[in-house]
Structure 1
Amino acid sequence: MSFAKRFIGAENLPTRLSEFDVQQSFCMSADDIAAVAGRFRHDRRVAAAIQMLFLRASGRPMDRFASVPKTLLRAVCEAFQTPAVSIASLRSLYARRQTLYEHQAWARTYLGLLDLDAAGVDQLQKVLAISALEAAHPDDLAETARMWLYERRIVIPGPRRLADLAREAFDATEAAMAATIEAGVGKAALLKAIDWCYATQSGGVGTRLEWLKTPPKRHSPSTMSETLEKIRALKALGVHVWPLDGVALSKQQAYAAHVQMRRPSMTARIERQRQTVEITCFLHVTLLELTDMALLQASRRSQDLVRRAAERVEKGRSRSNGATLQQALKAKSVLHDESKPWRDRVLEARALLDDIGEAGTSTFASQVRRALAEDNRRVHAHLAGLRDIEFAGASGDPGHDQWQAWQRLQGLGTKEIPQDFELPPVGAAWNTIVSDLDPQSRYRAFEASTMMALRKSLRRGSAWVNHSISFRARESMLLAGADWSRTKELHHQILGLPDQVMAFLEPILAGVSVGLTALAEAAGRGQIEIGADKLLHLPPIRPMDEEVEPRKTREAVFKHIGSVQLPDLLLEVDAATHFSEALLARRPSSSNELLAIYGALLAHGTDLDAKGVGSMIPGIDAAHISTAMRAVELSGRLRRANERVSEYQNALPIAALWGDGTKGSADMMAMDASRHLWTARVDPRRRTYAAGLYTHVRDRWGLFYDQPIVLNERQAGVAVEGVEQHNRAEDRIRISLLAVDTHGVTNVAMTIAKLLGFDLCPRLRDLRERKLFVPRGWPVPESLEGVTVRRVSVKAIERGWDDLVRLAASIRAGKVSAAHAIHRLGSAAVGDPLHRAAEHLGRLLRTLFLCDYLAIPDYRREIHTLLNRGESVHQLQRAIHGGQVAPERGRRRQEMAAISGAHALLTNIVLAWNTNRMDTVVTKLNRDGVGIEEDWLRRIGPAHFSHINFRGTFRFNVERYADVLVEGTAGLGAARPGR
């Protein structure tokens, strides 16, 4: 597990080592004891065993001046049943240095470790050369080298030699990149681009480099105009045609991040080759990200225009309804006026009713389309702003065809459609108003149709932009056709999927038959009811009896734990997991650097900023915290730190009572944000602007994935993405079931999840309106006929099986994220064969799930329990981040990801600390004879925070943990003899 690997490459151990660490990483087996006892006499066994245990945990010999933790000494002495040794350093254990070397040589032979020879160096250099293609920093390569050597049972050399190898590989890759860039772009073009970056931007806002680094502000037409202006400037430099496909995007993003972090004057002073690479990558990545921003802003802008059109129609309908009512009342009064002859009354009333006309005969949607076409000034301005983005599209795609036709009309410089101009098909919904006899009305309607069709085509991927990340061509996101044909069988084996679709469908269809029978039996027993309205009526789950003992146990446990200050909590968990090392990709070199990392974590993960955190931590300047904040934004660092803490919490003994680690839940938490954040949306519940943080919680309570999302969008993609990212690692417990709410599931998502090896289990809203889908002609119990729909096409699944497996293989291979793939297969993709296959297979899977969910109350309770644990974690998350995301924060993708990752890390730290203390208290109480039932402990979770002080002046007692956390201080606090 990732947290257990923190000792790999270490030269010594901290003076304080927990019992948990000893059990996890330094435990001796019976074979170990026998081997040591058979080789050494009794007074040498403890020292030899320590050498062997350290070498096995770290992969390298212990420094001869290192101290030995007392907990480790005591455990080894107990294993050999010898008197406890009070001397706690190797110098004291080894009077003769030759004896130390003999013990280390024996330990290498016993463990089967090899020295790093010339052949090993060659292999390691090849591995580092490949890893350097995507590495963000040489420190990441040094970590890769340590892990590679450890896994191959090769003794890890000193840190300086590894650093030299990592730097050589990194520099060689950088030199190759520079040569590739210069050959592809041209030296003159590169010099022009660099000079352009340092030139002053018109308007007096600084250099063009600073202008490009400025993130977008609030959602508005002016923000979109500025984004498009930057895209035009970069395309004028020719950035969109630079041949950089051979350079990994993650590598480009890493170099671009360095430019983003520094002031332009600092970038101008670095070495010329590196400056060229960084500037080139920054310009290219900025163009890709700006294009994504522009298209997302354009999509939201088109939604705004549609919403305004709908509001105008609604107001017009209200006025029309009022006038109609007035006319009807007048006609009624005329008919009741007995002073006039009946014939006169009828004629007068008919005249009044004739004035009402044909109002209300057209649908609301058609009226909105007409209103949108009438808003031609805004629609035209919106389309005109997108002309500098080069769209491509599949043959016959409506959105792309209409866009090309609209561009040809702009070339004619006309505001109406000429008689001889051939318009592409616009669809039945728009055809009526686009076919208007008035040429200008036709033109306005065609512009509105083009805007909506292009948006839909971009969402489903039938139209794309080559200089983009999220909106690139579908084929570029999948395994290449030739590669897929050649390696298809291998990918089927990796995914565990059969070659023939029926071999996959038969167990599912059999399960559906059994499930329908069980559901009919449950209906017969009255567990569910199918009413005359042909809807499912399910009684609510009866809550478990409220017992006094679990509540008293929870209060007693946390009373024993007591209160804690956040700095002490951070230091304790860091000492156990070394998450600060993961954030820096190395151990901090000083106490100030460690404090700066803690400050960066708090500034990203709470509602404080660098200045606010700096005022709370004496001795640390806000500038140092800001520098550390940018460092932790580097790709993957927060994720690795979260994995360390989550895996540590998951491995604590008490966590096994809460679950087996194979199940989890996922849900979104809305974090208050400024309306000036362009990705912010109005939270429908709280009616405030907010940003979404989507987190995955294990059944053992730890957060194993996090991701920022936009509110009011489907969450099914990120739900699947989190489990897939977690399950890729081979040394973790795989998640096999994920509970989500209605927003976190679609039929397509259930299909993709199943192909990737886990089940997506939703708690559905409006359950009584849900239907059971089966293939045509499928036998169904008579009592379920009213809630069954025969709309599953097995043939559609058969036709799309190969494409489905190819998509799943592409996700597993990292060509495309599950979130993006599911987004592309949303409602906009209706009619696509791949979407049709995924939709019909998802209907079958949802039916299978519903049968179990409805017929088995314990299964339903388990789903609800998992989701309730996620809600409990949300309360803790709100306690950690109780305020609003500052207006200037979260505008960049990397910064929003850092906010999400830091917030998840702080949450995991609290959960891990609580879990560790709960385990310690329960163990002590049981040892003291205060028995605690395991059933009570299963109902007590670690998402408790009232005993933690999250505010105030933070005083970090770094000296206590310096030998554990800070490089170069190990051994300074070693225990003296007899101490």
Structure 2
Amino acid sequence: MPTPVNFLTEEQATQYGQYAGDPSPAQLAQYFYLDDTDRQFLRPLRGDRQQLGWAVQLGTLRFLGTFVEDWTTIPTAVIDYVAGQLAMAVPDGMARYGSSRTRREHTLRMTALYEYQPFEAQPGHWRVVRWLYQRAWLTAERPSVLFDRATAYLVEHKILLPGVTTLTRLVAQVRDRAQGRLWRRLAAVPSATQRDALESILAVDPKTRQTALDGLRRAPTRPSIRGFHYALDRLDQLRAFGAAGWNLRAIPPTRLAALARHAATVRAQALDRMPPDRRLATLVAFVVVFTMRAQDDVIALFDRYLTELSARTQRRSDKKRLRTLRDLDAAARALREACAVLLQDEDPKTDLRTAIFARVSKEALATAIRQVDTLTHPPDQRIAFQELWPHYPMIRQVLPRLLATMPWQATPAGQGTLEAWHFLRDHEGHATRSWPEAPMTGMTTTWRAVVVGENGRVSKKAYTFWVLFRMLELMQSHDLYVTPSERYGDPRSQLLQGAAWEAVRPQVLRTLNWAADAESALGPLREALDTAYQTTAAHWETNPAVRLEAFAGKDRLVLSPLDRLEDPVSLRRLRSRVASLLPRPTLPDLLLEVHHWTGFADAFTHVSQGGERVKDLALSVCAVLLAQACNIGLDPVVHAGIPALEYDRLTWVAQNYVRAETLTAANTLLVDYHAQRPLAQIWGQGEVASADGLRFVVPVRTLHAGANPKYFGAGRGVTYYNFTSDQFSGFNALVIAGTLRDSLNVLEGVLDQQTGLHPHEIMTDTAGYSDLIFGLFGLLGYQFSPRLADIGEARFWRIDAEADYGVLNRLARQRIRADLILRHWDDMLRVAGSLKWGTVNATALIQALQHGGRPTLLGRAIGELGRIYKTRYLLAYLDDESYRRRILTQLNRGEARHSLARTVFYGKRGELHQAYREGQEDQLNALGLVVNAIVLWNTRYMEQALALIRQRGTTVLDDDVARLSPLGHDHITMLGHYSFEVPEVVAQGHLRPLSSLDE
């Protein structure tokens, strides 16, 4: 489908090459500052008007990449900034300069002096087309995004912007060329037989009315033997197409993923109607991507099945032990009597055996020992073996297929276990209950006791379970992995290395502000740590919140909790007045009004990447978003007779428009718009954020949910781990199965966010607390600030063993191993660069570095660096009450945002009924988007309310304004009839009238 030329919205087309508001102070300094060369060109010009006109045009050219003919559209902030540099007042009649011949002469002369090239000039035009084509080929970006990037490229390379139609036509043409090339190359990959097989999956079965494609799309949801067979059958069907033999190295992975997503979303009939090359290319991409995902699904099933089996058998063992407590008590009492004799009789001449047997018969002691052996297990035994063995016949129903199917690879740490897997694959089918020998690298003493019998032979049953659980353990630390994979690959292989690392290494050092030499890099950290110790020690006697107490022969740090700050009367009165002034919209009205301001619904594009725009699409998008965010389904928002709100239309929009990348794009628009609001900037500058998890029960069968009785009761659930800025907006979120430790995910959420906010300090609860995380955050230039609930257990580290820190010497007993940091410095920089450049997933890398609680050498080195940052943070946390209160305030903002999200997500008892990970992510991200819309709506109307209160002569304190919150929702109607009708005043571009102010 050709890319339409009119892919820009009317607002985007109007703002092209124009000022969209006042430039920020940083932008004014970057583009409008006049250096010596600029001033030299200004001197020959006569009069203030010509000099100011020239200078403003020069800054405009640098900022916009073109000239602005209408002088009245240039922001006053720009003119004042330039006039201030020239030490002049703005002359009268500057608007006449904009339409004068002098201005046109200035533009021609300026273009030549500063070496700007017309858009059509060669070879610049050819380079633009080549760059645009490479970008279109390598990425699956929407036309509007490609247009924005092309505009930035032209500005950066000093090429004058062409007309908006010229550039949109070029983007559409180049994008179509790249797309056509992609389709042709992919369609040529399979053989004739493979093409026929691919086409056949679109055929409809007359009995089921389903296609084979429909079945291949569905991932397994049951962690059972039947689920295993379904997952393995699906994998076998996908592998049968022969994708492993296709050479696709020249095809960008992002383009493959985009085509596969399209194939996974649209109906098979729509694929069947495509032109041959496009249809075949889409099917090829689907098979390639879904073969990898199907393999990942088998591994996820393996993980979930063994984890549940272990938990289930342990529960049964615990119940069994409860039933045998009486027997265990009797055995323990008998053994107690025997031990009492040993302890009480100190006469060396006493025959202890006779004395013991006089009290407890030999037969009773033997019985007691047998009872203890039967009813107890070693302290390090984490699996109930006796309850596990009966499941062996069930496992064997699927084990041969599993052993033959999975192409595991291993790091050096996992080679021994991989050999055991191969041994099991080669010998599992033998009709024997034991083997004379088998690979047992990594086997613990507890496992060896049940695997190796008294005769020295290896139990087939026990050995099988050991291999399976050992595989699970190393898979989670990524010492065992498969290739290719989205979730279970080797993150270490994704690190920048070799020539690729050397090429970007200088840029990494500049970006992260690190020295290449380890000693030079460690010097400032050493000084900063020493200063932090000295400062905290100097304030210790005057800090009433901290003290050291002796506990069990050791010094224990005690930090008094923060006292609650009572809200002043002026703040309570201001909150009440602002709340009384806010209009009372319904949630659909609110969404449509926010779209009217921001155009966020225009970010939802068709999954085919074409320009399918239908009338009132924004209305349909807002209805679908509300249905998902409120967890109520489509029925309550359907309105018969309104085309944009009919069921078929809403279903079509939900399937083709609402997905991860469009939700992200729309959320970015809301966050960036909100960040520019004056009231939001009073609350914060977007430099601080908090991360916390919101839990949802998932009552449907799914692999992407985990158990945790504290949060999910007897069921399973997911964690919506989201990031809240100091402006109350949510700028990113991750959906985690169950309740994985937050520290594994916090860095991924920070690095992957795409908004204009750039938080450098991230605050979390104690769950996000580890030395490795501190180290990675420090390497990447972030401040990690967890709220510490257990600071009494914290360890303080020092570099200089001889330094005197006064009272803190009693705490600073641990020594940082600087030699580890120095030895691994370049590898640490490589890790930081890979994370910053996005070549490796942060969560997977952290799991690999932690190595199941036994960090790798590189992980230990990063942890040592983290101890420097952690100790500095701990000292600041102890020393500064305002810092502790600031962390608490930000975390409270995140919790208040969760409360609003709970209120919005009211349908189906607040439970998430999505079986697949992608569906869970899309629905919860729709929730986050709607919450952001509420935050933005509240913020803008709170600004209006504050202005009215001030206008009526009431004094408003800045401190009170800073403590207001846009998370209130009592004035918003969440329930009831959803009309999706915008008031006329809003449709005309105005805000709603405020409610009456109750004086």
Alignment partner, residue 871 of structure 2? 847
For 1:715 and 1:441, the matched residues in 2 are separated by 40
- Equivalent residue of 1:895, what SS? helix
Do the aligned residues in 2 keep the contact of 1:313 with 1:368 (CA within 8 Å)?
no
Alignment partner, residue 297 of structure 1? 301
Correspondences of 1:165-244 after superposition (within 5 Å): 165-181=170-186, 185-199=189-203, 204=208, 206-244=210-248
| 2:769 maps to amino acid | V
Structure 1 residue 275: Cα displacement: 0.9
Alignment partner, residue 369 of structure 2? 357
1:458-513 alpha-carbon deviations (Å, 9 max, x no partner): 22222211131122233441113232245433322232221122333333333333
Q: 1:608 and 1:513, CA in 2 relative to 1: closer, same or farther beyond 3 A?
A: same
1:757 to 781, 788, 794: 781
1:833-853 alpha-carbon deviations (Å, 9 max, x no partner): 222212222233222211211
Q: 1:118 and 1:262, CA in 2 relative to 1: closer, same or farther beyond 3 A?
A: farther
- Equivalent residue of 2:13, what SS? coil
For 2:335 and 2:861, the matched residues in 1 are separated by 57
1:58-81 alpha-carbon deviations (Å, 9 max, x no partner): 979899xxx999x99xx9xxx999
Gaps of 5+ in 1: 83-92, 335-341, 966-979
Do the aligned residues in 1 keep the contact of 2:698 with 2:913 (CA within 8 Å)?
no
| 2:741 maps to amino acid | R
Alignment partner, residue 962 of structure 2? 938
1:856 partnered with 2:876: no
Do the aligned residues in 2 keep the contact of 1:216 with 1:227 (CA within 8 Å)?
yes
Q: 1:201 and 1:110, CA in 2 relative to 1: closer, same or farther beyond 3 A?
A: farther
Do the aligned residues in 1 keep the contact of 2:64 with 2:155 (CA within 8 Å)?
no
Which protein has greater RCO, CA pairs closer than 8 Å, 6+ apart? 1
Correspondences of 1:4-403 after superposition (within 5 Å): 9-11=12-14, 115-119=118-122, 120-132=124-136, 133-149=138-154, 161-181=166-186, 185-199=189-203, 204=208, 206-326=210-330, 346-347=358-359, 351-357=363-369, 359=372, 362-366=377-381, 368=383, 370-371=385-386, 374=389, 375-381=391-397, 383-387=399-403, 388-395=405-412, 397=414, 398-403=416-421
Alignment partner, residue 705 of structure 1? 732
Task: Select between 689-698 and 308-317 the one with higher mean Cα deviation.
Answer: 308-317
TM-score, normalised to structure 1, is 0.83
| 1:947 maps to amino acid | H
1:648-691 alpha-carbon deviations (Å, 9 max, x no partner): 21211122322232111111111343232331234523525432
Alignment partner, residue 751 of structure 2? 724
Q: 1:37 and 1:680, CA in 2 relative to 1: closer, same or farther beyond 3 A?
A: farther
Q: 1:329 and 1:497, CA in 2 relative to 1: closer, same or farther beyond 3 A?
A: closer
Alignment partner, residue 528 of structure 1? 546
1:897-936 alpha-carbon deviations (Å, 9 max, x no partner): 3223322211111111111111222223223322100011
Q: 1:151 and 1:608, CA in 2 relative to 1: closer, same or farther beyond 3 A?
A: farther
Q: 1:862 and 1:199, CA in 2 relative to 1: closer, same or farther beyond 3 A?
A: same
Structure 1 residue 761: Cα displacement: 1.0
Structure 1 residue 235: Cα displacement: 1.6
Gaps of 5+ in 2: 1-7, 35-41, 81-89, 339-353, 991-999
For 1:723 and 1:480, the matched residues in 2 are separated by 24
Alignment partner, residue 947 of structure 2? 923
Alignment partner, residue 971 of structure 1? none
Do the aligned residues in 2 keep the contact of 1:523 with 1:530 (CA within 8 Å)?
no
For 1:603 and 1:160, the matched residues in 2 are separated by 37
For 1:355 and 1:849, the matched residues in 2 are separated by 58
2:604 to 566, 573, 583: 583
Alignment partner, residue 792 of structure 1? 816
1:280-315 alpha-carbon deviations (Å, 9 max, x no partner): 111111122222222222212221122123223323
1:471 partnered with 2:488: yes
- Equivalent residue of 2:718, what SS? strand
- Equivalent residue of 1:537, what SS? strand
Computed over aligned residues only, the root mean square deviation of the Cα atoms, in angstroms, reads 4.5
Structure 1 residue 271: Cα displacement: 0.6
Q: 1:103 and 1:583, CA in 2 relative to 1: closer, same or farther beyond 3 A?
A: farther
Do the aligned residues in 1 keep the contact of 2:198 with 2:241 (CA within 8 Å)?
no
2:558 to 513, 527, 537: 537
Do the aligned residues in 1 keep the contact of 2:688 with 2:761 (CA within 8 Å)?
yes
| 1:355 maps to amino acid | T
Correspondences of 1:427-442 after superposition (within 5 Å): 427-437=444-454, 442=459
Alignment partner, residue 976 of structure 1? none
- Equivalent residue of 1:948, what SS? coil
Correspondences of 1:394-793 after superposition (within 5 Å): 394-395=411-412, 397=414, 398-410=416-428, 413-419=430-436, 421=438, 423-437=440-454, 442-520=459-537, 524-525=541-542, 526-533=544-551, 534=554, 535-584=556-605, 589=613, 591-615=615-639, 618-619=642-643, 620-634=645-659, 636-683=661-708, 684-685=710-711, 687=713, 689-726=716-753, 732=756, 734-774=758-798, 777=801, 779=803, 781=805, 783-784=807-808, 787-788=811-812, 790=814, 792-793=816-817
Task: Select between 699-708 and 142-151 the one with higher mean Cα deviation.
Answer: 142-151
Structure 1 residue 775: Cα displacement: 5.3
| 1:376 maps to amino acid | Y
Structure 1 residue 537: Cα displacement: 2.1
Task: Select between 416-425 and 506-515 the one with higher mean Cα deviation.
Answer: 416-425
| 2:303 maps to amino acid | S
For 2:314 and 2:806, the matched residues in 1 are separated by 44
Structure 1 residue 885: Cα displacement: 9.2
Identity, % of aligned positions: 21
| 2:378 maps to amino acid | T
Structure 1 residue 550: Cα displacement: 0.6
For 1:586 and 1:551, the matched residues in 2 are separated by 52
Alignment partner, residue 970 of structure 1? none
- Equivalent residue of 2:711, what SS? coil
- Equivalent residue of 1:256, what SS? helix
For 1:685 and 1:523, the matched residues in 2 are separated by 40
Task: Select between 145-154 and 901-910 the one with higher mean Cα deviation.
Answer: 145-154
For 2:837 and 2:674, the matched residues in 1 are separated by 29
For 2:989 and 2:197, the matched residues in 1 are separated by 47
For 2:142 and 2:312, the matched residues in 1 are separated by 49
Task: Select between 464-473 and 858-867 the one with higher mean Cα deviation.
Answer: 464-473
For 2:101 and 2:213, the matched residues in 1 are separated by 60
Do the aligned residues in 1 keep the contact of 2:539 with 2:879 (CA within 8 Å)?
yes
For 2:737 and 2:869, the matched residues in 1 are separated by 27
Task: Select between 856-865 and 467-476 the one with higher mean Cα deviation.
Answer: 467-476
| 1:495 maps to amino acid | L
Do the aligned residues in 1 keep the contact of 2:697 with 2:718 (CA within 8 Å)?
yes
1:752-788 alpha-carbon deviations (Å, 9 max, x no partner): 1111110111113333222223459465757556655
| 1:386 maps to amino acid | L
Alignment partner, residue 344 of structure 2? none
Structure 1 residue 829: Cα displacement: 6.3
Do the aligned residues in 2 keep the contact of 1:116 with 1:154 (CA within 8 Å)?
yes
TM-score, normalised to structure 2, is 0.81
Alignment partner, residue 4 of structure 2? none
Q: 1:641 and 1:36, CA in 2 relative to 1: closer, same or farther beyond 3 A?
A: farther
Do the aligned residues in 1 keep the contact of 2:719 with 2:739 (CA within 8 Å)?
no
| 1:671 maps to amino acid | F
For 2:528 and 2:91, the matched residues in 1 are separated by 56
